[in-house]
Structure 1
Amino acid sequence: MRADDSDPVLARAARSLKDQPMDASWIDISDSIISRIRATTRRSWPIDAEYPTAAVETERKTDTLRISDHVVRSTLRRALAGVHGAEPTTIDLYLDDHTCTGAYIDIVGVYGDDLQAVGDELAAIVLNTLADVLGPVRPLTRTDIDVHVHDIDDAGTTAG
């Protein structure tokens, strides 16, 4: 027994849909939806992390694992959000295969702030956050972090 045979309402709805002509715009709409979904979703890239082990007497001095680039970016975004009113708009990681070698941060700054000082503070936060999340896989320095002020917000609203 088919599902539409047991329910006359479903059977009538199925017949009605079969009898309707195909709307040509549906193909365009569905293609648009699929392309937006594909553009929105993306695979994550594993980034090497390492942490000192508790037992010093073992041969292995660190535990290693890989952390998704999505996790690293979200952690950075949370750490940077609202510092001096600046908001990160882009967070990119510089990678050498699976090793993080630095970061690029695009921010909206606040009008009147010393943007050089804010950039330096944000870079320090990025360095500390990456060290916390990834451990000492590759120690990073201030020169590994690029902070770019994309725009300036003058009244607490997002600048365009």
Structure 2
Amino acid sequence: MTPDPDSILNRAARELRDAPEEPRWVDISSSIISKVRATTRRTWPVDASYPTSPVGRESDTLHVSDQVVRRAILRALAGVHGSQPTDISLYLDDKTCTGISIAVVGAYGSDLQAVGNDLARIAIGVVADTLGVALVRSDVDVRVDDIEV
């Protein structure tokens, strides 16, 4: 006989509620977060071009970590029109960036179409600055996952 999953979840929730609170939780959680941040992350190299290539060196290659590109986009988009990015992904063809997917939490009452277009425009600029890749609006998917009131 298989136990009912709901009863297992209810029991776990009850035990967590009834457990005594750890007085040093803030210190412990900070320690855990710092250790998680210190762990290595797997990154993917993305082709980029040098902003200024000396004559004769056009064939040199430059790779930028996808984490660097995604973090730059995140920083540029944070708080624009009250929205908050929750997920940023790069569309890659081998190692070439061909587009971006952005998920955001939008602000209630915003013109979400206009906000999406502004976010896409900003992300296109970041990719151009970071990778030297020229994307267009149709290369960027902006998805509103939630609305914040």
* Structure 1 equivalent of residue 99 of structure 2: 102
Q: What CA distance in whole angstroms lies between the structure 1 residues aligned with 2:129 and 2:51?
A: 12
Q: What CA distance in whole angstroms lies between the structure 2 residues aligned with 1:78 and 1:132?
A: 14
Give TM-score scaled by structure 2 length.
0.70
* Structure 2 equivalent of residue 8 of structure 1: none
Q: Does 2:145 correspond to 1:150?
A: yes
Can you give the 5+ residue segments of structure 1 that lack an aligned partner in the other structure?
A: 1-36, 155-160
Can you give the 5+ residue segments of structure 2 that lack an aligned partner in the other structure?
A: 1-35
Task: Say which of 69, 74, 78 aligns to 1:77.
Answer: 74
Aligned 8 A contact 1:87 1:109 in 2? yes
Amino acid aligned to 1:111: Y
Q: Does 2:80 correspond to 1:86?
A: no
* Structure 1 equivalent of residue 52 of structure 2: 53
* Structure 2 equivalent of residue 44 of structure 1: 43
Aligned 8 A contact 1:111 1:152 in 2? yes
Aligned 8 A contact 1:85 1:109 in 2? yes
User: Alpha carbons of 1:151 and 1:45: their partners in 2 closer, same or farther (altered >3 Å)?
Assistant: same
Q: CA deviation at 1:42?
A: 3.7
Q: CA deviation at 1:62?
A: 6.9
Q: What CA distance in whole angstroms lies between the structure 1 residues aligned with 2:146 and 2:70?
A: 21
Q: CA deviation at 1:51?
A: 2.1
Q: What CA distance in whole angstroms lies between the structure 2 residues aligned with 1:143 and 1:126?
A: 12
Aligned length, in residue pairs? 113
Q: CA deviation at 1:91?
A: 0.3
Q: What CA distance in whole angstroms lies between the structure 1 residues aligned with 2:60 and 2:114?
A: 36
Q: CA deviation at 1:41?
A: 5.5
**Rg comparison, structure with higher value:** 1
Q: CA deviation at 1:64?
A: 3.4
1:15-37 CA-to-partner distances (Å, cap 9, x unmatched) read: xxxxxxxxxxxxxxxxxxxxxx7
In structure 1, the residue corresponding to 2:74 is in which secondary structure?
A: helix
